[in-house]
Chain A
Amino acid sequence: GAGVSQSPRYKVAKRGQDVALRCDPISGHVSLFWYQQALGQGPEFLTYFQNEAQLDKSGLPSDRFFAERPEGSVSTLKIQRTQQEDSAVYLCASSLGRVLTYEQYFGPGTRLTVT
């Protein structure tokens, strides 16, 4: 595809529900990143994949958050038992190379609202 795509663009969940957010990176991009962006804030790092390997998940705020990229392409961020503080925009980014000197291309984000 032409860029990074994410789905759904908007998600409303009742507190306690599980949600799954999808990211389709640019074809051939090795690295994939997930970020959480609260209203009026900059993005905060959640997790990083290099191909199918999750190399850094230290930014995940709790064990309710889980991410996977089983075939080294599409990635899913899953949030179990959603809480109101999970309300945010979840951004996915991909880059061609393995190090952060490469440009990161961001998707449009999924806006999650937990009621």
Chain B
Amino acid sequence: KNQVEQSPQSLIILEGKNCTLQCNYTVSPFSNLRWYKQDTGRGPVSLTIMTFSENTKSNGRYTATLDADTKQSSLHITASQLSDSASYICVCNEGNNRLAFGKGNQVVVIP
């Protein structure tokens, strides 16, 4: 059973628009949550890491939020660019040397 669920599975947005990706997790105990960006044919690259005590963290046009009470996180992309087309993966640290990965949100930015 996947402990990290992401939605929407895929979305298409116009260049310059904003979008928000959702992540729900059931991992327990919970140490930290990460968002990765994976371009086609490449390995994932970290965008943000948040511990359970952090509510929000930004990295340029990417802003992640975390609600540890509801076990939800979101990744907001502002003023999307064509290079934002990628899979965005939500990852939870189970605290036992394992990371639980979601299936990813596939984002396509069109001009």
Contacts and interface: CB of A to CB of B under 8 A. Distances in A.
B99 A41 contact: no
Which residue of B93, B97, B101, B104 has the most chain A CB atoms within 10 A of its CB atom? Answer: B97
A61 B44 CA distance: 22
A43 interface: yes
A103 B97 contact: no
The prevalent SS among residues of A at the interface is loop
Contacts of A34: none
14 contacts: A42-B91, A56-B97, A91-B43, A100-B98, A100-B99, A101-B32, A103-B49, A104-B46, A104-B99, A106-B44, A106-B45, A108-B43, A109-B42, A109-B43
Given A43-B44, A103-B49, A109-B43, 19 more contacts: A4-B43, A40-B103, A41-B104, A42-B101, A55-B97, A59-B98, A91-B44, A93-B43, A100-B32, A100-B93, A100-B99, A101-B31, A101-B32, A101-B93, A105-B46, A106-B43, A106-B45, A108-B41, A109-B41
